[in-house]
């Protein structure tokens, strides 16, 4: 493994280690680097207003029109290390908080870049997968 890849595995693994244990963190980090990133489910999308936003995203916009941003929420009373998933359409206009990265992956958000969002589900409820790239 070249030095750059090894450094990336260690960077991501060390960020994840606090939440999921060292062994699991480095397995997840290696998988992320090997696959060029991670695809994670967005948590907290079950709220009605977020379901409406997902419905609009799925019916009105193509994948190329949706931009995804990850932002730290240090003021979040439930989790000071939370990483929120924001979406914007039409070059960033209309930015909206869609939900959160899974708690164990939030520390790695600084090492990864948001690359896309996939809306999943149907009439009974929708969710979203966010693609994070190394």
Of 17-21, 37-41, 121-125, the poorest mean pLDDT is in 121-125
Question: pLDDT at position 129, please?
Answer: 92
pTM: 0.84
Residues 21/108, Cβ–Cβ less than 8 Å: no
Q: What is the mean pLDDT of residues 67-73?
A: 90
Confidence grade of residue 100 (pLDDT, cut at 50, 70, 90): very high
Q: Which residue has the tokens 């060390």?
A: 14
Instruction: Map out the domains of the chain as residue ranges.
Output: 36-133
- Domain 36-133: assigned CATH number: 3.30.70
What tokens were used for 99?
A: 């939900």
Using the predicted structure, report yes or no on whether residue 101 has a pLDDT greater than 90.
yes
Q: What value, to the nearest 5°, has the Cα angle with vertex 103 and ends 97 and 109?
A: 70
- Per cent of the chain over pLDDT 90 is 34
Question: pLDDT at position 123, please?
Answer: 66
Question: pLDDT at position 61, please?
Answer: 87
Question: pLDDT at position 131, please?
Answer: 92
Identify the CA nearest to 82 among candidates 61, 64, 107.
107
Q: What is the mean pLDDT of residues 43-49?
A: 90
Average pLDDT, the chain: 88
Q: What is the mean pLDDT of residues 96-109?
A: 90
Residues forming beta bridges with residue 128, ordered by sequence position: 119
């Amino acid at each position: 493994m070249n030095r750059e890849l090894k450094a990336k595995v260690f960077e991501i693994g060390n960020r994840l280690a606090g939440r999921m244990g060292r062994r699991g963190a480095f397995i997840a980090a290696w998988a992320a680097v090997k696959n060029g990133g991670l695809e994670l489910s967005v948590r907290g999308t079950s709220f009605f207003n977020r379901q409406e936003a997902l419905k609009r995203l799925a019916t009105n916009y193509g994948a190329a029109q949706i931009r995804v941003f990850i932002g730290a929420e240090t003021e979040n009373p439930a989790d000071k290390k939370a990483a929120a998933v924001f979406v914007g359409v039409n070059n960033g206009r209309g930015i909206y908080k869609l939900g959160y990265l899974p708690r164990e992956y939030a520390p790695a958000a600084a090492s990864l870049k948001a690359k896309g969002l996939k809306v999943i589900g149907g009439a009974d409820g929708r969710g979203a997968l966010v693609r994070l790239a190394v």
